[in-house]
Amino acid sequence: MRRSSKLQPRFGLGDVGPGQLADLEAVVDSLPTDDPVELWGSSFGAPIALAYAARHPEQVDKLVLDGAYASGAELIPPAEAEKFLAMLGMAKHQPDTVFSSLSFLTDPDPRITHEVRVQRLKRSIDPAALVALYGLSFSVDVRDLRAGVTAETLVLHRAESRAVHPQNGWRLAAQLPHATFVSLPGRAHNLWEGDTATALQQIAAFLGFTLAAEAASTGADAPGPDGTAGANRDGDPVASRVEVDPEPVAESITVMFTDICGSTALTARLGDDGAQHLVRAHNDIVRRALARYQGREVKHTGDGIMASFRSASAAVVAAATIQRAVIDARESGAFPDLALKIGLNAGEPISEDEDLFGAVVQVAARACDAAAPDQILVTPVVRALAMGKGLVFAEAGERDFKGVAEPVPLWSVPPAEPEPEPGPDRRRPPAADRVADTGPRPGPEAGS
């Protein structure tokens, strides 16, 4: 349970928020029965549910935790939490940008569009309260209470969640006396999104319910936030059909633009043949990176290439690898006049005739235009999607883009580190390690 209108000041480590726990205690005390309850805590609510189960063991029969964690310090290091909170602080002035980042973080490939999810977030969370809400979640620490949970516990976690890393879930389960950990497939953090049927089956089996046949076989089209399915302990149907969101399926794509710096002046100075020689060098470098990091060349723009990636982190590493190859080619004297600008944005572009269109593409192109030679600029959505991958992002200020109502914050990514000199015992490090060795970790988001 979360308090929405009377958020308490940030609380210290070693406890959950007294107001949040008091809310839960008041709800349970108001029930018209003294029987123990079956308690479910999700994401930010999980530490509160755990604390209640530890302090009132006689009141909890079974405990279900999903997307859970025990300590905000384990969820995200304090220094990175401050950066994440600073980004959230922009929500008062740029709510669409911030809530879009949170939407991509919790479900990169939703069954409904990110625009719909952003509007839902804006209706449910006051932008002015966002920093306080996340500050509370980052400050919680219930590790000392784990041994006091006597209830049988089911800990569920989506295997590819970027909002709360799965290691938080299995670490928590390992320290609870009577816990079972179940890893669920998918990238959607919230259990009511993505493959809901598998989660429902696990919870129903744990609580002793029998799901209605239609709900049990629905798979990825299982009930959404407003749908219910199952039967009670007496076998009476809870729902006879499953409600499915009517919005079309949409896929998140990261779009990358490259641009050869000063191409017009280069043509005038080097001539058509000399300029085309540089274009071919650029093409070779970019296409090698696309093949290596599973990117798709959408089209050639004359002075650059437009490409798409299904993984934001792969797109960032590919861009860093491209810039390193270009810098090396220039410094070696092979192509002394070659320099690139690169821009990336992520979202749900319109796909038609093997091409991509829409605002996502336009902002990616504008980010490329805004970059300096040898620079990579990415939008906040790309940065949020690539969190936890060991990448470094540096603030690059805000830019006013034509056709975009609000200034767009941009982040720069350094070129990949030079590859080590070959040797008999030297192995080539992973590409991400050559981009950076530290970076932001995922911050949780729930309820989107």
pLDDT of residue 446: 38
Residue 423's pLDDT is 53
pLDDT at 420 over 70: no
Q: Say how far apart CA 218 and CA 211 lie, in whole Å.
A: 11
Compute the distance between CA of residue 114 and CA of residue 100 in angstroms, rounded to an integer. 7
Which pLDDT belongs to residue 432? 42
* Backbone CA torsion sign across 196, 193, 112, 106: negative
CB 378 within 8 A of CB 341: no
CATH no., domain 253-435? 3.30.70.1230
- C-alpha 45/C-alpha 74 separation (Å) is 16
Q: Band the pLDDT of 305: cuts 50, 70, 90.
A: very high
pLDDT given at position 17: 55
pLDDT band at 83 (very low <50, low <70, confident <90, very high): confident
| pLDDT of res. 316 | 96
Over the stretch 160-216, which tens digit does the pLDDT of each residue have? 888 898 888 888 988 898 998 888 988 889 898 888 889 999 999 999 887 765 444
Percent of the chain, pLDDT > 70?
A: 79
Residue 431 has pLDDT above 50, yes or no: no
Phi, psi of 116 (to 5 degrees): -65, -45
Residue 235 has pLDDT above 60, yes or no: no
Read off the pLDDT band of 56 (50, 70, 90).
Answer: very high
Encode pLDDT of 95-148 as tens digits. Answer: 888 888 887 778 776 656 667 777 887 788 888 888 888 888 888 899 999 999
Residues 413-431 have a mean pLDDT of: 63
Query: Quick one: angle between helices 78-88 and 130-139, nearest 10?
Result: 170
**Distance between CA atoms of residues 118 and 381, nearest Å:** 13
| pLDDT, tens digit, 9 for 90 and up, residues 326-355 | 999 999 999 999 999 999 999 888 888 889
User: Three-state DSSP class for 108?
Assistant: coil
- Give me the torsion for CA of 52, 58, 59, 64, rounded to 10°: 60
User: In angstroms, rounded to a whole number, what is the distance separating the alpha carbons of residues 417 and 378?
Assistant: 19
What tokens were used for 412? 């720069």
Within 10 A of 414 (CB to CB), how many other CB atoms are there?
17
Average pLDDT for the chain: 79
**Residue 358 three-state SS:** coil
Query: Is the pLDDT score of 390 beyond 60?
Result: yes
**CATH 3.30.70.1230 in the chain, residue ranges:** 253-435
Residue range 278-296, pLDDT digits in tens: 999 999 999 999 999 999 9
Q: Which of 31-35, 181-185, 438-442 has the lowest mean pLDDT?
A: 438-442
Quote the CATH superfamily of domain 18-194: Alpha/Beta hydrolase fold, catalytic domain (3.40.50.1820)
Residue type present at position 91: A
Q: Which residue has the higher pLDDT, 38 or 19?
A: 38
Q: 3-state class of 387 per DSSP?
A: coil
Residue intervals of the chain classified under CATH 3.40.50.1820 are 18-194
Phi, psi of 415 (to 5 degrees): -60, 160
Q: Report the alpha-carbon distance of residue 98 to residue 221 in Å, rounded.
A: 28
Burial tier of 423 (Cβ tally within 10 Å: 0-12, 13-18, 19+): exposed
Query: In this structure, are residues 14 and 102 in contact, taking their beta carbons and an 8 Å threshold?
Result: no
318-332 pLDDT tens trace? 999 999 999 999 999
Q: Looking at residue 63, what is its pLDDT?
A: 97
C-alpha Rg value of the chain to the nearest Å: 25
